[in-house]
Amino acid sequence: MAKQPNLMSKKNQIRVNKKKKTDAGLSKSRPKSKTGFRPHKKKTDETAPAKSDGLIRLNKFLANSGVCSRREADVLIESGAVSVNGEIVTRLGTKVKPSDTVFYNGQKLRAEKKVYVLLNKPKDFITTTDDPQKRKTVLDLVRKAGRERIFPVGRLDRNTTGLLLLTNDGELAKKLTHPSHGVKKLYEAHLDKPLTKADMVAISEGVVLDGEKVIPDAIAYAGTGEKKEKVGVELHSGQNRVVKRIFEHFGYKVVKLDRSVFAGLTKKDLPRGKWRFLTEKEVGYLMMGKQ
């Protein structure tokens, strides 16, 4: 993974949690290897490749098919929503062969290979898998990524640009979007007027949105800090439109918003509107939760 660019001026930076080390240019980076990754640990038996007989657990088959995470698959199995070779299966731990026919919700499933696509989203594309109004979606930009059915991890507003991960790995997607995992995101917001230092301090101390106090991990004027209407915000909240709502709470309008870092991934060498596959090291980095 590439080293993240330093978008914030250290002089103007406000650190919120000194104990947390971030690597998005807002604080000192954690030690990394020359490749930017920590040594890849061996997987446990639960995530190890299937044995030579080809049998895998049914919940893993469902997760590999992009239906949901393995834990959610257990719930579906116990509820009787899954059938194997025409018979409803409710026993957890059931194993299936590649030749078995598995149905969920009336749809035949197949275990797809895992695909991880990083997109630098442009404006005017909505983050959804389908749109009844026939507007442009992010899937239109990644059609050539393969035949596997991938979906966006989280959301970006139609006019918000920047990094968006798409995958058919339901388990990883849930991990990256659940608030308990604290996945870091770095945004650069262009406001309709300069942000005062007093408001910046107030934002750094936390804003209550929908009954939840959202505290940015860091906030600073972008670049040299001369243009105080450009502000960098690092946070891990998963609330909808959280950055725009934070500034709206203090009377500012976000006229442009770009996500430059997501879970340790950056936009380096990825032009707007383009995409690329994640490397094995990047996928391993995400799996280990070292964002």
Catalytic residue among 23, 45, 131, 157: 157
Known catalytic membership, residue 157: yes
Residue 117's contacts (CB-CB under 8 Å, 6 or more residues apart) are 142, 145, 150, 165, 166, 167, 275, 276, 277, 278
Residues annotated as catalytic are 157
